């Protein structure tokens, strides 16, 4: 049988052994299949092994390794507007939270997103997705959270849906209406109630709800009430937790059985232990620590204690202007203490589990989606070691050569 595409004579195929979620030290278990070939048909991996498949198209894999396409399970696409002045303010000593309390931060992007038509938001996001794809990112999650009212929030979710239809990248969306208090409201409870009122409309566009649980944004009690309403309405839940202070978000995520607790820069010992024993995926976003010049999440401890750890970019205009997975992996390894093997698992198999697609993404395995990155590398440590070099040779998405 003639296949659609065959990749021949790869130095090695590097993949996590198990599909996500992979827990604790199990995350080091990656497989390196030397001198191998991959056969692809109808967007799926159908063959891995020593034989040379007959195919319509071939890629010469000599000098290359194949890894699963990166899955960026936490970004804030779509957004627009300019926050570079806030960057300058931080360089002069103002903190992210100071700027937010003074009406900048998320609210400033919200003003820009509210007045930008969906078509323009789409065009801007499309270009980001193009750049991410060329870096080997084949699946992206994006969030609302810059509308902060019904229209703007639903507009962002519709933009994400449309992007998924027109861009080769698979796009997943999350409703983050509870991202900040908009200026029209003085009561956080009233604002959250207004977001709960649109859950039925949100349900048509996404199955996942997130909240920014943080001192000065939404506290634990407010977050609990909101998330219980989300669970009641049948949503999967995720929480921006313990980002800038130890605010109780990580513990709340465990208590409510959230899919993920994201950030965890300031997670305390009790939170780390609770996460380690739970099925909630600790999603580390070390690009944010780097960009805001904050400390880094305690990735090593989380893994040693048995947590399921994913990593992602958090790409957004305020706290992390980074979407490059190689930089994020480098930071996860050098600052959060992950091993290279763990960082690979965290950005593939475990990120797939955050999005609920671990049965078809995050591994190079027969039957899985043919989402692959071919890198100019002799062996897998170079994925991190050569993080600032352009080592991407080809990107295969759904079996198509897209970069």
174 touches, from ligand NIG, Fe ion, none (C-beta below 5 to 8 Å by class) = none
263 is in an annotated binding site: no
Identify residues 73-132 at the interface with ligand NIG (CB under 6 A).
76, 105-106, 109
Q: From the list 75, 316, 350, 393, which residue makes contact with ligand NIG (rule: CB under 6 A)?
A: 316
Q: Do residues 235 and 207 make contact, with C-beta atoms less than 8 angstroms apart?
A: yes
Mark the segment that binds Fe ion (CB under 5 A) among 90-98, 123-131, 154-162, 310-318. 310-318
Residue number with CB closer to ligand NIG (71 or 364): 71
Tell me if 370 sits within 8 A of 57, measured CB to CB.
Answer: no
| Long-range CB contacts (within 8 A, 24+) of 196-202 | 196/226, 196/229, 196/230, 198/150, 198/153, 198/154, 199/229, 199/230, 199/233, 199/235, 200/233, 201/150, 201/154, 202/153, 202/154, 202/157, 202/175, 202/177
Q: Does 15 bind ligand NIG (CB under 6 A)?
A: no
Provide, rounded to whole angstroms, the least separation between the CB of residue 292 and ligand NIG: 8
Tokens 């930071």 correspond to: 331
Q: Which residues make Cβ contacts (< 8 Å) with residue 9, sequence separation at least 6?
A: 35, 37, 60, 61, 62
3-state secondary structure of 237: strand
Strands 30-41 and 44-49, bridge-based pairing: antiparallel
Q: What mask, x for binding ligand NIG by CB under 6 A, covers residues 334 to 373?
A: ----------------------------------------
- 208 forms bridges with which residues in the sheet? 236
| 314 touches Fe ion by CB under 5 A | yes
CA-wise closest residue to 333 among 376, 269, 382, 267: 382
Binding partner of residue 105 among ligand NIG, Fe ion, none, CB under 5 to 8 Å per kind?
A: ligand NIG
Are 206 and 174 a contacting pair, CB within 8 Å?
A: yes
**Of 25-33, 314-322, 339-347, 385-393: span binding Fe ion (CB under 5 A):** 314-322
**Binding residue (CB under 6 A) for ligand NIG from 15, 36, 319, 345:** 319
Q: Is 146 known as a binding-site position? A: yes
Q: How many CB atoms lie within 10 A of CB 229?
A: 17
Instruction: Please identify, among the stretches 1-9, 59-67, 315-323, 381-389, the one whose residues bind ligand NIG according to the rule CB under 6 A.
Output: 315-323
Q: Please give the DSSP secondary-structure letter assigned to residue 141.
A: E
**Position 212 contacts ligand NIG (CB under 6 A):** yes
Q: Which is nearer to ligand NIG, 41 or 217 (CB)?
A: 217
Residue ranges at the known binding site for Fe(3+)? 74, 76, 240, 314
Residue ranges at the known binding site for N-formimidoyl-L-glutamate? 146, 316, 318
Q: Which residues bind Fe ion (CB under 5 A)?
A: 314
Residue ranges at the known binding site for Zn(2+)? 74, 76, 240, 314
């Amino acid at each position: 049988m003639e296949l659609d595409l065959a990749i021949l004579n790869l130095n090695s195929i590097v993949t996590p052994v198990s599909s996500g979620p992979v827990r604790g030290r199990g995350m080091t278990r990656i497989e390196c299949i030397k001198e191998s070939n991959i056969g692809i048909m109808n967007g799926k991996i159908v063959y891995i092994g020593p034989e040379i498949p007959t195919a319509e198209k071939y890629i010469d894999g000599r000098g290359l390794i194949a890894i699963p396409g990166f899955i960026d399970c936490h970004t804030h696409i779509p957004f627009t507007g300019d926050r570079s002045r806030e960057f300058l303010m931080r360089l002069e000593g103002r903190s992210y939270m100071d700027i937010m309390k003074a009406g900048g931060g998320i609210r400033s992007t919200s003003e820009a997103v509210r007045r930008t038509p969906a078509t323009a938001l789409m065009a801007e996001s499309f270009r980001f997705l193009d750049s991410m794809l060329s870096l080997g990112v084949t699946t992206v999650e994006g969030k609302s959270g810059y509308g902060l009212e019904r229209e703007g929030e639903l507009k962002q979710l519709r933009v994400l849906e449309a992007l998924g239809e027109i861009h080769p990248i698979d796009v997943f969306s999350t409703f983050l209406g509870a991202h900040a208090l908009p200026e029209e409201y003085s009561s956080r409870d009233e604002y959250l109630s207004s977001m709960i009122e649109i859950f039925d409309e949100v349900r048509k566009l996404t199955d996942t709800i997130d909240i920014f649980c943080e001192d000065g944004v939404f506290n634990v009690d407010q977050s609990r009430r909101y998330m219980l309403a989300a669970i009641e309405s049948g949503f999967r839940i995720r929480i921006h937790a313990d980002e800038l202070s130890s605010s109780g978000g990580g513990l709340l995520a465990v208590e409510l059985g959230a899919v993920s607790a994201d950030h965890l820069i300031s997670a305390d010992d009790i939170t780390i232990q609770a996460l380690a024993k739970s099925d909630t995926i600790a999603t580390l976003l070390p690009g944010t620590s780097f960009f805001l010049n904050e400390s880094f999440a305690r990735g090593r401890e989380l893994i040693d204690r048995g947590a399921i750890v994913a990593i992602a970019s958090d790409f957004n205009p305020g706290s992390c202007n980074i979407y490059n997975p190689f930089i994020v992996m480098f930071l996860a390894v050098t600052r959060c203490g992950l091993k290279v093997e763990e960082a690979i698992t965290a950005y593939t198999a475990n990120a797939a589990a955050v999005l609920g697609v671990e049965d078809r993404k995050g591994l190079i395995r027969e039957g899985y989606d043919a989402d692959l990155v071919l890198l100019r590398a002799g062996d897998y440590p170079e994925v991190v070691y050569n993080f600032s070099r352009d080592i991407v040779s080809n990107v295969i998405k759904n079996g198509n050569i897209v970069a």
